[in-house]
Chain A
C-alpha cells in the first residue's frame, strides 16, 4: 500500500541553524501539506501546496519557513533559523486530487532544537 515517507526520523539542531525536512508524498497525489505537533498537544496546520505554489499558510508559517517541491517526488520544509519553540514533530501529508479529501500522513520527523 502506498504511503508517505519522511526523512530524517529525528533531527537535532542548534538554535539558529537551518534545517530541511524531507517528504516523499504518495505517488500521483497532487496536494501536499505540512503539519506540526508539539509534544502532548494537537496537530497544527502549517502550509498547503498545490501546483508548485503555496495554497494556504498558517500564522505559524512565517518568513523563517519555506516549502519546495524540487523534483517530481520530494516535498521539503525548510526552517531558516531554528528557534527553541520550533521543537516538535513535523508531519507531511498528501491527498490525491480535487474531489478526494482524505489526507494521508507520513511517520513524521522529530525536530529537537537545543
Chain B
C-alpha cells in the first residue's frame, strides 16, 4: 500500500526543472506533498484531491492523474532553497497519511 516515489534522488543546478512522481497501486483519495530539510519537520506544500486538478504555489505545482493513481510534483527554475527531501503522503479511505520513501533533491549554484 506504500506509494512509490521516483526518482530516488535528483541533482540540479539553480534554474533547472525537476519532476517527482508518486504512484499508488490502490485508489487514492488525496495526495499530500511535503518538503523536509535535514533535521527538521516536514513542511506542507500542497494537497491534491481526486479529480485530476492541478495546483500551483509560486514555481512549484502538482497534478493528480486519477486514472493512473499518480501524482507529479513540478519544480521549475529551481532555487537553492528547494533542496531537501520531498515526500508524498497518500490518503486512501482513512484519515492517516502513508508516506513514500522520499526523493532527495539537491540544488547547486
**Do A and B form a real pair?**
yes
Residues of A at the B interface (CB closer than 8 Å) are 31, 33, 35, 41-45, 48, 50, 55-56, 58, 91, 101-108
Report which of B40, B47, B99 forms a contact with A43, defined as CB distance below 8 A: B99
- Interface residues, chain B, with chain A CB atoms under 8 Å away: 30, 32, 34, 40-44, 47, 49, 87, 89, 91, 94-102
With A31-B95, A45-B98, A103-B97 known to touch, is A91 a contact of B41 (CB < 8 Å)? yes
The answer to whether A101 touches B94, judged by C-beta atoms less than 8 angstroms apart, is: no
Query: What does DSSP make chain B's interface, helix, strand, loop or mixed?
Result: strand
Q: Count of A-B contacts with CB under 8 A?
A: 51
Bound complex: CA A56 to CA B97 (Å): 11
- In Å, the complex CA distance between A33 and B42 comes to 14
Partner of A106, one of B30, B32, B41, B95: B41
- The answer to whether B40 and A44 touch across the interface, beta carbons within 8 angstroms, is no
Task: Evaluate contact between B96 and A105: CB separation under 8 angstroms.
Answer: no
Cα distance A108–B43 in the bound complex, in angstroms: 12
Least distance between B14 CB and chain A CB atoms (Å): 27
Which one of A44, A45, A101 lies within 8 Å of B32 (CB-CB)?
Answer: A101
> Could you tell me the distance in whole angstroms from the C-beta of A59 to the nearest C-beta in chain B?
12
Q: Which 8 A-B pairs have the closest CB atoms?
A: A45-B96, A105-B41, A43-B99, A42-B99, A107-B41, A105-B42, A48-B95, A42-B101
